[in-house]
Amino acid sequence: MILFTKRGLNLGGVSFCLSVSLSLLMVFWIAGLTAAQASEMASNNKSDERPNIVIILADDLGWGDVGYHGSDIQTPHIDRLAKEGAKLNRFYATPFCSPTRAALMTGRDPLKLGVAYSVLMPWENGGVSLDEHFLPQSFQAAGYNTAMVGKWHLGHTIEQHTPNARGFDLFYGHMHTQVSYFDHQIANGHDFQENGKPVDHNGEYATDVHGAQAARFITDLRDKTKPFLLYVPFLAPHSPMEAPEALKDKYSSRLDLPGSTRKTYAAMVDSMDQAIGKVLTALDEEGVADNTIVFFFSDNGGFENYGSDNGPYRGGKLEVYEGGIRVTAVMRWPEKLAAGSEVDEIVSVMDLLPTLTHAAGVENGTEKKIDGVNRWSTITGEKVSKRKGALYFASNIPVYNKFQLGVIDGKWKLVQNIDHKMTSTDFDNQLFDLDADPYEKNDLTEDYPNVVKKLNKKINKWRSLHPIGGSYVKINPHPGWRAPKDYADVIIPAEKIEEEPHKGYGTLESMVLQRRYGEKGRITYE
């Protein structure tokens, strides 16, 4: 029998004199421990409430090549994102691969980075400057688990240019573009790796591997105590035009003249959509879909010669007409964005870094002034605003010394076509009112000469920001170049690379000479 006395407890006649002060101390200690544990749990829960980010990037997808834009190609998973999220109807990328990826990663104008005119080829050693801050570095610093599965295309020769050095905990994919889908070769070298080590998926269709590995990260590989950033830049539907036969047969009714790749192109888009479906299913199965921002877009318009459709817009890949730069884009976040909503204001690929970091409550971490702006309130509809400032576009592919340039400033758009020859230059302007003529059918150059003059000056001033050592079209390698047997084996370790860039030779360092370059570009890097 237990008896309570004034002195303490009596258990079967045995007295235990318990100090009241000790008892109270124990109570307070336990209470304090419980409070500390509760505080820690609350802190963890608060951290866990930050949204996951999944960025899915198609390569050369035409505006009209998704189901919700009326295509005969079956894209139920992309269509699902459009139905459950917000469609960005005026989302602008660049005319081709590398500059769009550079703008996405840095929030800066790719012309300033030296990658606006051309893509980075396997036979080139360049990449985005090591002075630039990348989007995954922002999320990594904030405690996110970061991963990339797919095509990089932003530097491949030195370790500091690789995805792992730029903020991705996991990289599973390719350093280059134009990688073949079944044997994963580019320019005679193998290009498929995991964190710098070659991986062998010979015979497996690359798009299937991308989807499976991205889903595997979500379900098995990530640290589930942290939010995550997953970047999935597919090779598809970029050339080489290759697809599983069964999928090509699915589109046998497509008009496919000799030499045409329309069936193959449709199959490649279909395969990519199925891979996206694997990613969405993984989010559903893990129970994290509602608090995950999924952003899907294409790096540029489709290449019509391979069977894409950019209609109703004019032009396509490599061009600064709307069909080359206005791309399919969808954002889904069930907890924050209204399903089926549409955004009709301009959003640029440069805006994604400041917009996504803001949405996630993450410091963007950039030291340089970025060109992108936070468009979150416009996307959510909380405070819709027009994007301030002009947007510029450039292309120097694939013809040497031939350029197409463009600027959108308010309702006006100017397109410049420049062809430098040995003894002359062909030059012409085209002016469009995008509010009245979004399909660019009516050239208003003769009607508004003052507008043309003003926009020409803007383009020339903008071109002067390009580093003269930046990328220009080099469609073929130097005759002395040879591909490595495996690109993962030839990356130079960081400790063997000088930290500071070389400034150039002799008078090229002179600011006097810089002033003479004008619109040709700048000698010093910003």
Q: What is the pLDDT of residues 325-374, one digit of tens each?
A: 999 999 999 999 999 999 999 999 999 999 999 999 999 998 899 999 99
Is 17 assigned a catalytic role?
Answer: no
Which one of 97, 184, 210, 238 is the catalytic residue? 97
Residue 523 has pLDDT above 80, yes or no: no
Residue 356 · residue 97 · CB < 8 Å? no
Residue 454 CB-density burial (10 A; 0-12 exposed, 13-18 middle, 19+ buried): middle
- Between 298 and 23, where is the model more confident? 298
Residue range(s) of every CATH 3.30.1120.10 domain in the chain: 392-520
User: Which numeric CATH code is attached to 392-520?
Assistant: 3.30.1120.10
The Cα 289–Cα 400 span in angstroms is 46
* Ramachandran bin of 255, using left for φ above 0, alpha for ψ from -120 to 50, beta for the remaining angles: beta
Closest by CA to 211, choosing from 150, 254, 262, is 150
Residue 369 · residue 442 · CB < 8 Å? no
pLDDT cut 70: percent of the chain above it:
87
Which one of 153, 156, 176, 238 is the catalytic residue? 153
pLDDT digits (tens, 9 = 90+) for 414-442: 999 999 888 888 999 999 999 999 999 99
- State the pairing for strand pair 292-298/228-233: unpaired
Tell me the CATH architecture of domain 51-391: 3-Layer(aba) Sandwich (3.40)
Give DSSP secondary structure letters for 46-80. HHHTSPEEEEEEESS--TT-SGGGT-SS--HHHHH
Neighbouring-strand partners of residue 155: 127
Q: What is the pLDDT of residue 12?
A: 44
Q: What is the pLDDT of residue 473?
A: 84
Residue 511 has pLDDT above 60, yes or no: no
Residue 314 · residue 440 · CB < 8 Å? yes
Kindly report the CA angle at 300 between 411 and 145, in degrees rounded to 5?
A: 110
Structure token pair of residue 3:
């008896």
Lookup result for tokens 């030291």: 367
SS3 for 467? strand
Residue 410 has pLDDT above 60, yes or no: yes
Lowest mean pLDDT of 45-54, 101-110, 332-341, 480-489, name the range.
45-54
Q: What is the pLDDT of residue 11?
A: 41
pLDDT cut 90: percent of the chain above it:
74
Mean pLDDT of the region 186-203: 96
Is 97 assigned a catalytic role?
Answer: yes
Residue 407 has pLDDT above 80, yes or no: yes
Q: Which residues of 431-442 are buried (b: 16+ CB within 10 A; e: fewer)?
A: bbbbeeebebee
Q: Which helix (DSSP H) or strand (DSSP E) does residue 293 occupy?
A: strand 292-298
pTM score: 0.89
Mean pLDDT of the region 444-450: 98
Neighbouring-strand partners of residue 418: 403, 427
Q: What is the pLDDT of residue 43?
A: 41
The Cα 236–Cα 418 span in angstroms is 31
SS3 for 434? coil
Question: What phi and psi values does residue 268 have, to the nearest 5 degrees?
Answer: -65, -40
Residue 219 has pLDDT above 80, yes or no: yes
Residue range(s) of every CATH 3.40.720.10 domain in the chain: 51-391
Residue 297 has pLDDT above 80, yes or no: yes
- Between 477 and 294, where is the model more confident? 294
Q: Which residues of 248-282 are buried (b: 16+ CB within 10 A; e: fewer)?
A: bebbeebebeeeebbbbbbbbbbbbbbbbbbbbbb
258 pLDDT band, cuts 50/70/90, is confident
Mean pLDDT of the region 76-104: 98
